[in-house]
Amino acid sequence: MAVDGGVTQAFFPEGGLSRDGALRTPKIGLLDYMLRAFDPAGSRDLVFVPVGLNLDRTLEDRTLLRDLEPETPKAGLAATAATTLRFLGHHALLLASNRWHRFGYACVNFGAPISLKAWLAGRAVDLPRLGKEVRLARAKELAADLMGAVGRVIPVLPVPLLAIVLAREPERRFTPLELKAEALALLSRLEAAGAAVYVPRRDRDYAIDFGLRSLAQRHLVVEEGGLLSANPDDITLLRYYALSITHHAGEA
């Protein structure tokens, strides 16, 4: 009914939040409903607008990562409440002592609209004549194309940028200058590859310093003897943030 009525609607092709930070395999149920309701010969088109979201900090990041380890016991209500209270108390103390800093940046980016009429015509797909199995296969192709478009517009933010540099060489110890140089070089490569890079205040040095400070506050990066390195106990969490942008320019 929504498709037939031309109602603007938002949906998540992945069907839920990423558990490891990377793009998930898209689900095709909603897309199949749309294809079944769409009339290519009608006067109305169906247009998809890719939307890429990224965050410097996801508050439930550790909880999401626990879902990847089903053998790990789940925290009960009391433990969850205690963790929440500790979190609030810690940040209240930082605020009272004038040491609180923002969690990070959230950024949204929009891609070029994708016309379903044009998509079908470009593949010579006669939608009304498709059987169920063939239609589902076409829905998978469309879902893959849409996820590719979403991936291309996911913004690069300071924390994921630093997370890539630290996580790809987890045992390396950087001088602050080396770490900044590596991050700036990666930033330039991602920009050259066409990634949507958000530089807060339009100041690259500030962006790198902000990302490093954010990671240090969460003890994801540690300092020893003036050298910086990834916290070995939190490599998985660093990779969670890194994976949100590693698909840009083939970074790994």
Q: What is the mean pLDDT of residues 63-83?
A: 72
Say how far apart CA 87 and CA 59 lie, in whole Å.
10
Tell me the mean pLDDT in the region 119-123: 95
**Cα dihedral sign, 206-207-213-217:** positive
Q: What does each C-alpha distance from 146 to 29, 47, 68, 151, 243 come to in angstroms? A: 14, 11, 25, 9, 19
Above pLDDT 90, what percent of the chain? 70
Both tokens assigned to 190: 């991602």
Q: Lowest mean pLDDT: which of 41-45, 135-139, 150-154, 178-182?
A: 41-45
CA dist., res. 143 & res. 150, Å (int): 10
Fold of domain 156-252: Arc Repressor Mutant, subunit A (1.10.10)
Residues contacting 183, CB < 8 A, separation 6+: 161, 162, 165, 208, 211
d(CA 24, CA 21): 9
Lowest mean pLDDT across 38-42, 98-102, 130-134, 141-145: 98-102
The number of residues in the chain equals 252
The sign of the dihedral angle between the CA atoms of 109, 111, 116, 117 is positive
Q: Say how far apart CA 212 and CA 159 lie, in whole Å.
A: 7
Q: Which segment of 11-25, 38-52, 78-92, 205-219 scores lowest on mean pLDDT?
A: 78-92
Span 120-127, average pLDDT? 93
Nearest 5°: the CA angle 120, 148, 58 is 140
Contact (Cβ atoms closer than 8 angstroms) between residue 245 and residue 164: yes
Helices 235-242 and 158-168: crossing angle in degrees, nearest 10, is 130
Residue range 59-63: mean pLDDT, rounded: 87
Segment 203-226 shows an average pLDDT of 95
Q: CA–CA separation, 68 vs 240, rounded Å?
A: 12
Domains of the chain, by residue range, sit at 1-59+107-154, 156-252
Instruction: Please state the pTM of the whole predicted model.
Output: 0.87
Mapped to the 3 state alphabet, what secondary structure does 73-89 carry? CCCCHHHHHHHHHHHHH
Neighbours of 180 (CB within 10 A): 20
Tokens read off for 191:
């920009």
Q: What is the DSSP string of 12-77?
A: -TTSS--SSSSPPPPP-HHHHHHHHH--TTSS---EE--EEEEES--TTHHHHHHTT-TTSPPP-H
- Distance, in Å, from the CA atom of 186 to the CA atom of 173, rounded to the nearest integer, reads 18
